[in-house]
């Protein structure tokens, strides 16, 4: 594993002209497949030496993709309880299956109950002492793992005063908030509609010392708009970095928009935590007939 993940400076007159430094922490470079916040979340869970991992996710889930990959890498059987029906050509599920993940499909209303549903209970009962990971992989050990992102930043670039990242469950943000320095502001860009994540992050991190940005979710979870897709493609042309359309593309769009709106004081040093997720670009192209940059 390539740790600490490298921090790279980005250059563009948009921020250079305001004397703002923008950096990106390349969590996507930790490992070719098991990387980003998925690596951080799995790390301490894997250290419990599970005999088997059972987890939950949607058909295009980064977490399913990463858990299946980690299972193959460390020789641990994995089971994915997937929302909805099998689509034989879905690239995320094809990958998971190629890693040996046992895929079980459950209908959407049963899926909502997760491990409390009878179907999931009977799947779980088939295995001896399985490690059950929630959807998105967010548990206490996962947050211990994500807190190490802040620990690394504070060694690599201690003068940074804004740490920004995207959030789904808020687990990654919570870990980072728990280890940030008092002079650092954490900006959390919600990938979901609404502001309910605020209380969830407060509950998980026991801190309200962060700011939730809710204006850059492009219509809600997994929704995209043409200007987001154009932004991601342009960003790739300018910086040679592929952002995913579900999390990092939306958040980076937000950071640059806030810079243009003069949200950050002159002299600010910002780091964007690139949480991986680029397998989502392949999934997006599969769903939408192409048009988005892939790694």
Ligand X SMILES: Cc1ncc(COP(=O)(O)O)c(C=O)c1O
Question: Cβ of residue 126: shortest distance to ligand X, in angstroms?
Answer: 26
How long a stretch of residues is the chain? 295
Cβ-closest position to ligand X: 277
Residues 6+ apart with CB under 8 A from 43: 145, 148
Complex with ligand X: residue 14 or 140, whichever CB lies closer? 140
Site residues for ligand X per CB under 6 A: 36-37, 62, 136, 138, 166-173, 244, 247, 275-277
| Beta strand extents in the chain (DSSP E only) | 7-10, 21-26, 53-57, 78-83, 102-106, 131-133, 162-167, 185-190, 211-213, 269-274
Complex with ligand X: residue 124 or 192, whichever CB lies closer? 192
CA atoms of 65 and 81, how far apart (whole Å):
12
Complex with ligand X: residue 167 or 256, whichever CB lies closer? 167
Question: Cβ of residue 168: shortest distance to ligand X, in angstroms?
Answer: 3
Complex with ligand X: residue 200 or 257, whichever CB lies closer? 200
Q: What is the separation of C-alpha 164 from the centre of its chain, rounded to a whole number of angstroms?
A: 13
Question: Cβ of residue 142: shortest distance to ligand X, in angstroms?
Answer: 8
Question: Cβ of residue 39: shortest distance to ligand X, in angstroms?
Answer: 11
Question: Cβ of residue 284: shortest distance to ligand X, in angstroms?
Answer: 13
Question: Cβ of residue 272: shortest distance to ligand X, in angstroms?
Answer: 12
131 three-class SS: strand
DSSP state of 148: H
User: Taking the alpha carbons of 160, 173, 175, 294 in that order, is the dihedral positive or negative?
Assistant: negative
Complex with ligand X: residue 45 or 62, whichever CB lies closer? 62
Complex with ligand X: residue 50 or 277, whichever CB lies closer? 277
CA atoms of 116 and 33, how far apart (whole Å):
31
């Amino acid at each position: 594993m390539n740790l600490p993940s490298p921090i790279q400076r980005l250059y563009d007159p948009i921020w250079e002209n305001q004397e703002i430094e923008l950096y990106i922490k390349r969590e996507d470079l930790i490992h070719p497949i098991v990387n980003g916040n998925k690596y951080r979340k799995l790390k301490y869970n894997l250290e419990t030496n599970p005999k088997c991992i059972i987890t939950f996710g949607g058909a295009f889930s980064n977490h399913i993709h990463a858990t299946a990959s980690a299972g193959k890498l460390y020789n641990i059987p994995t089971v994915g309880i997937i929302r909805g029906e099998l689509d034989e050509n879905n690239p995320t599920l094809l990958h998971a299956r190629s890693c040996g993940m046992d895929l079980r499909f459950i209908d959407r209303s049963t899926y909502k109950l997760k491990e409390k549903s009878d179907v999931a209970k009977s799947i779980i009962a088939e295995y001896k002492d399985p490690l059950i990971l929630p959807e998105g992989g967010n548990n206490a050990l996962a947050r211990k793992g994500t807190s190490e992102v802040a620990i690394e930043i504070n060694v690599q670039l201690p003068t940074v005063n804004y740490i920004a990242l995207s959030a789904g469950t808020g687990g990654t943000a919570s870990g980072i908030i728990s280890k940030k320095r008092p002079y650092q502001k954490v900006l959390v860009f919600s990938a979901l509609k609404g502001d309910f994540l605020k209380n969830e992050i407060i509950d998980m991190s026991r801190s309200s010392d962060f700011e939730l940005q809710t204006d850059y979710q492009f219509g809600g979870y997994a929704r995209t708009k043409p200007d987001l897709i154009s932004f991601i493609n342009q960003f790739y042309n300018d910086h040679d970095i592929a952002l995913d359309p579900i999390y990092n593309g939306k958040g980076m769009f937000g950071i640059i928009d806030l810079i243009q709106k003069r949200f950050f004081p002159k002299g600010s040093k910002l780091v964007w935590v690139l949480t991986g997720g680029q397998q989502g670009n392949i999934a997006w192209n599969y769903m939408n007939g192409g048009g988005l940059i892939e790694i």
